[in-house]
């Protein structure tokens, strides 16, 4: 069999079909194979030196085999036919010893398929960019952060990289699909000294196309601004005030909300949203969407990890919960239909986001008499069953609609139902640079625990 490369979907799909056929020959009643090929390049610079340079091609096969409702999985990077035949035979044999599960099976043939049209997942400007240009950019980012502010004395590295991928899926119900995609990123993390305190900030941008990323000068400036903005930070008083979540922090809140919307958590009672479909939970400003069909975005694909076409799913509409997000297994278990969020072993987001508003982040600040702009959170304290939210945080204190001074060593706390119900402003600064994203938004009141 020809070598599989990221430049050719044909051989990847042929190999996926070969693995499916081998599983059926070994006695599986159903089988699904996913072949992934990733050509990766990444470089790191610190000051004037290149400190890391990595280039690799990774090939992997993930196989799910079913024997009358019993499932086993196989993951391997060994593409030798004889070795793979042996491994597949062992996986099928193992499946026979697994407890039977009435929901364990492939998607029905009627639900599988691929999204039509050009989703703009592959970009030649990424594939054709030479290595030296990426190295030069990493060094340029390092030079820029030092030129922008003399207080920047070091960095945790400037990173530039990209990935060119081929994904192919075949199953025994007749589905076969493959696509190529690109991803590119740039980021930098400056370090400054504020007396005896070390201040570290970071900022980055990612996209399918080079032309869709934030330019290197803008990335460097935002990283420096985030580093030096905390100079002279103090601990705030304990208070109940409006809290604005800057968009990167807001995205982490959305990630927690996604976990509560995942049917995998709902099915085991580990979600504060269980049994609340149809209920109004958030304010009118809370419309949250999962959409895998938006051309050129990071979470877009023609089909999910099970070969089910991606779709646009409104999960919260004007504050009301409309649906959970499902893969095939949990859709069967909960009497629903897959929303195209299968990962081949769980429920995963596509492009999951809070719909933006019309005002800028600066407008939200100007319209806040007294409050906190959260720029960074620390630690992890989310309880998904109850919906409790608590994070250590750093940010900026707002007084009379203006930034007064930086604050740190405080905790923000509340519950997700209270937070969503109290969202009273949403900014227009949404950027689709990851699978889970959000514009900045303001919660009318939260507990800020400081002195």
Q: Judge if 321 and 224 occupy the same domain.
A: no
Closest by CA position to 352, among listed 308, 305, 309, 298: 298
Q: Give pLDDT, residue 4.
A: 64
Q: Is the pLDDT of residue 381 over 70?
A: no
Q: Judge if 112 and 244 occupy the same domain.
A: no
Q: Judge if 212 and 336 occupy the same domain.
A: no
Q: Judge if 304 and 421 occupy the same domain.
A: yes
For residues 32-52, average pLDDT: 96
Q: Judge if 196 and 249 occupy the same domain.
A: no
Q: Judge if 386 and 300 occupy the same domain.
A: yes
Q: Judge if 147 and 252 occupy the same domain.
A: no
Per-residue pLDDT tens over the stretch 190-215: 999 998 889 999 999 999 999 999 99
Q: Give pLDDT, residue 345.
A: 84
The count of domains in the chain is: 2
202 is a domain residue: yes
Q: Judge if 287 and 400 occupy the same domain.
A: yes
Beta bridge partners of 117: none
2 is a domain residue: no
Q: Is the pLDDT of residue 359 over 90?
A: yes
CATH number of 156's domain: 3.30.2290.10
Percent of the chain with pLDDT over 70: 98
For residues 134-141, average pLDDT: 97
Q: Judge if 295 and 192 occupy the same domain.
A: no
**At 7, is the pLDDT very low, low, confident or very high (cuts 50, 70, 90)?**
low
Q: Give pLDDT, residue 5.
A: 61
**At 383, is the pLDDT very low, low, confident or very high (cuts 50, 70, 90)?**
confident
Whole-angstrom Cα distance, residue 27 to residue 93?
Answer: 8
**At 8, is the pLDDT very low, low, confident or very high (cuts 50, 70, 90)?**
confident
Neighbours of 144 (CB within 10 A): 20
Q: Judge if 206 and 274 occupy the same domain.
A: no
Domain boundary residue among 174, 208, 228?
228
Q: Is the pLDDT of residue 275 over 70?
A: yes
Q: Is the pLDDT of residue 6 over 60?
A: no
Q: Judge if 161 and 243 occupy the same domain.
A: no
* Residue 403: domain span: 239-449
Q: Is the pLDDT of residue 226 over 90?
A: yes
Of the CA atoms within 13 Å of residue 422, those in its CB half-sphere come to 18
For residues 376-383, average pLDDT: 81
233 is a domain residue: no
User: Among 2-6, 135-139, 174-178, 259-263, which is the least confidently predicted range?
Assistant: 2-6
Whole-angstrom Cα distance, residue 309 to residue 300?
Answer: 11
1 is a domain residue: no
Angle at 334 between CA 332 and CA 340, to 5 degrees: 60
**At 384, is the pLDDT very low, low, confident or very high (cuts 50, 70, 90)?**
confident
Handedness of CA 218, 219, 223, 224 (dihedral sign): negative
Q: Is the pLDDT of residue 66 over 80?
A: yes
Q: Judge if 249 and 155 occupy the same domain.
A: no
Q: Is the pLDDT of residue 74 over 80?
A: yes
Q: Give pLDDT, residue 375.
A: 96
Domain boundary residue among 184, 207, 228?
228
Q: Give pLDDT, residue 1.
A: 44
Handedness of CA 267, 271, 276, 280 (dihedral sign): negative
Per-residue pLDDT tens over the stretch 303-325: 999 999 999 999 999 999 999 99
4 is a domain residue: no
Domain boundary residue among 197, 228, 259?
228
Whole-angstrom Cα distance, residue 129 to residue 265?
Answer: 42
Kindly report the pTM of this predicted structure.
Answer: 0.95
């Amino acid at each position: 069999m020809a070598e599989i490369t990221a430049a050719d979907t044909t051989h990847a799909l042929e190999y996926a079909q070969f693995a499916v056929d081998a599983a059926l020959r070994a006695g599986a009643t159903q089988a699904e194979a996913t072949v992934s090929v990733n050509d990766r390049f990444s470089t790191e610079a610190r000051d004037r030196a290149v400190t890391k340079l990595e280039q690799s091609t990774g090939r992997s096969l993930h196989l799910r085999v079913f024997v009358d409702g019993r499932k086993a999985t196989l993951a391997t990077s060994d593409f030798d036919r004889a070795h793979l035949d042996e491994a597949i035979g062992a996986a099928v044999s193992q499946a026979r010893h697994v407890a039977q599960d009435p929901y364990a099976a492939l998607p029905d043939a009627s639900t599988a398929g691929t999204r039509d049209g050009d989703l703009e997942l592959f970009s030649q400007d990424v594939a054709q960019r030479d290595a030296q240009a990426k190295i030069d950019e990493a060094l340029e980012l390092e030079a820029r952060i030092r030129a922008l502010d003399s207080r920047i004395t070091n960095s945790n590295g400037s990173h530039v990289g990209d990935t060119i991928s081929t994904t192919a899926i075949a199953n025994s119900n007749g589905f076969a699909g493959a696509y190529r995609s690109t991803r590119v990123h740039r980021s930098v993390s400056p370090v400054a000294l504020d007396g005896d305190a070390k201040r570290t900030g970071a900022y980055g941008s990612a996209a399918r196309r080079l032309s869709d990323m934030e330019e290197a000068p803008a990335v460097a400036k935002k990283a420096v601004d985030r580093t030096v903005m905390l100079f002279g930070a103090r601990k705030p008083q304990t208070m109940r005030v409006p809290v604005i979540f800057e968009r990167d922090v807001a995205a982490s809140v959305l990630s927690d909300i996604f976990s509560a919307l995942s049917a995998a958590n709902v099915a085991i009672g580990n979600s504060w949203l269980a049994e609340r479909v149809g209920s109004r939970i958030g304010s009118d400003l809370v419309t949250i969407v999962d959409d895998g069909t938006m051309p050129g975005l990071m979470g877009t694909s023609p089909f999910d990890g099970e070969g089910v076409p991606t779709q646009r799913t409104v999960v919260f509409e004007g504050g009301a919960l409309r649906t959970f997000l499902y893969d095939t297994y949990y859709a069967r278990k909960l009497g629903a239909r897959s929303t195209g969020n299968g990962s081949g072993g769980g429920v995963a987001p596509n492009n999951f986001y809070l719909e933006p508003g019309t005002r800028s982040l600066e407008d939200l600040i100007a319209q806040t008499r007294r409050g906190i702009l959260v720029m960074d959170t620390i630690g992890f304290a989310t309880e998904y069953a109850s919906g409790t939210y608590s994070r250590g945080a750093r940010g900026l204190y707002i007084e009379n609609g203006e930034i007064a001074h930086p604050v740190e060593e405080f905790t923000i706390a509340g519950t997700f139902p209270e937070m969503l119900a109290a969202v009273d402003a949403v900014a227009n600064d949404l950027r689709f640079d990851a699978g889970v994203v959000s514009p900045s938004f303001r919660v009318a009141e939260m507990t800020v625990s400081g002195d």
